[in-house]
Amino acid sequence: MKKAGIELILLTLTLCLFVFLILGQWDYAINPFFSLKRWHFISSGEFLHGPFDIRQAGTCFDQPTIGKYLYWFSMTAFLSSASLVLVRFRLSSASFWQQGFFILFATISTVLTWMLLLIPTCLLLHYVKAMGMTTNRLLGLLLCAGAWIVLPCFAFAACRKQWKRSCLFVVTAWGALLIPLLFPSYLALDLIYIHIRRGQIGSLFDVLGLIFLGVWITFCMFAIYLGRLVYHEKE
């Protein structure tokens, strides 16, 4: 199969997964931010007032926890960045319509991803204000800060007409692909470590464990492939 055909299949799968995750998180993580009241709640700092609900700490996936929101943001942000890379190479000409379409796509996907990052960022800030700073909380804040900076910089670099000659495109593309995988990698490696330490390595191979590790490994391999593509296609 030709390289262009492989990239088209990857692009189709990536876009479908991206849309699937966006739709799945629309009601509780995106739709609320179309309200001016919610933006005032954030911009005024009201979310920092009052006690922090300790039930929101941790990584429980059946509860509204920081880890849950950060994980789904990470998966969505990675798919958004991967889609931008693949679409950019598909629409590589300087055509006015292609350039306009890409800018629109990059803007929408980046804004939607930003909305998913708002919840864990606000929760982490409230957590630190209420409970103090720890190493894990500092790493979480640094991860959020990195995503807030790198994702729009990557979108800007990809939207430039001279993107192929831009070192900024290469650096931000790698950052936009790798930063979203940091938190899932931490969860996966921590899960493996805990099971090895407890002598329960066999329990890693249940259905949910295999799905979680399989998704993580697949995304890491995909990131390596796209990183090589970005590097080798640079003029």
Tokens of 97: 């319509």
- Collapse the DSSP code of 50 into the 3-class scheme (helix H, G, I; strand E, B; otherwise coil) and give the result: coil
Indicate if the pLDDT at residue 176 is higher than 60.
yes
Cα–Cα distance, 6 to 228 (Å, whole number): 15
What is the average pLDDT across 135-144? Answer: 94
User: Hey, CA dihedral for 74, 80, 86, 88, is it positive or negative?
Assistant: negative
Give per-residue pLDDT as tens, 36-47.
888 888 989 899
- Output the pLDDT for position 162: 83
Indicate if the pLDDT at residue 163 is higher than 90.
no
pTM of the model: 0.93
**Residue written as token pair 């998966």:** 75
**CB–CB of 83/11 below 8 Å?**
yes
Amino acid at 170: V
DSSP label at 132? -
**CB–CB of 75/60 below 8 Å?**
no
Indicate if the pLDDT at residue 235 is higher than 60.
no
Domains in the chain: boundaries: 3-233
User: Hey, CA dihedral for 69, 51, 186, 180, is it positive or negative?
Assistant: positive
Amino acid at 27: D
**CB–CB of 113/76 below 8 Å?**
yes
